[in-house]
Copies of this chain bind each other. A is one copy, B any other.
Amino acid sequence: MAREHIHATKLAILNATERLVAANGFEATSLRAITAAARVNLAAVNYHFATKDALILAMLNRRMKPLNEARLALLDGFEKEAGEKPVRIEKILEALFRPVVELIAQPAKGGRNFLRLLALCLAAPGAFLKPLVQQEFAEKNRRFHRALRRSLPQLSDVEVHWRLHFAQGAFFHAVAHSQVLEFSSSGRCRLTNCETVLQRIIKFCAAGLRSPT
């Protein structure tokens, strides 16, 4: 196999995994379903990834790490821009949300499938995923918590934690469970326009974050 072809098999498996797991969940997606969708041999999974768990981890990490890097880079940029002054709440929220929201329009980067995978990581992580959730969700929150502390000095440490948690939840639910919204609004609300969604969620959360104690 040419190097290009080696790459193709792994990529096909990763992409098929992403799509099927997003639709059905971790446990309910079998390797046989993945390999059939990827048009590769069943044993290719073990050859390239060793175990199913490792495959899922690889699938998640290939998106998760660059995504969080983008968020942190955006926040760093806004902080540098602000100089000595605290960053505006809206900017912090933008750093937190924009890289994720933009996935809506980027199927090549996981698109909405990845949004659903985020929800799965939170709701139904197997033991093998717990470390990733800690690392990519909880740890990264601390960075944003620190930034918010400077911008919301009137709030206690604990209060900022809680409000950041609420903001995260508002956001994750909005992007990962949009089918509920779509149904209850009889199709009037859809996850289609990144910028509109972003402005809406930022406005909602900024107001919540600023609400007096």
Contacts and interface: CB of A to CB of B under 8 A. Distances in A.
Interface of A: 24-28, 116, 119-120, 122-124, 126, 133-134, 137-139, 141-142, 145, 157-159, 161-163, 165-174, 176-177, 180-181, 183-185, 188-189, 200-201, 203-211
A188 B165 contact: no
Contacts of A137: 180, 184
Nearest to A168: B173
B169 A174 contact: yes
Contacts of A169: 169-174, 177
B207 A157 contact: no
Contact of A124 (B25, B201, B204): B25
A141 to B, nearest CB: 4
A177 to B, nearest CB: 5
Contact of A158 (B157, B165, B185, B210): B185
In this complex, the member of A126, A161, A162, A210 whose beta carbon has the largest number of chain B beta carbons within 10 angstroms is A162
Contact of A28 (B116, B126, B189, B203): B126
Contacts of A158: 185, 188-189
A161 B182 CA distance: 9
Given A25-B123, A123-B176, 11 more contacts: A28-B124, A122-B180, A124-B124, A161-B184, A162-B181, A163-B200, A166-B170, A166-B174, A166-B201, A172-B173, A204-B209
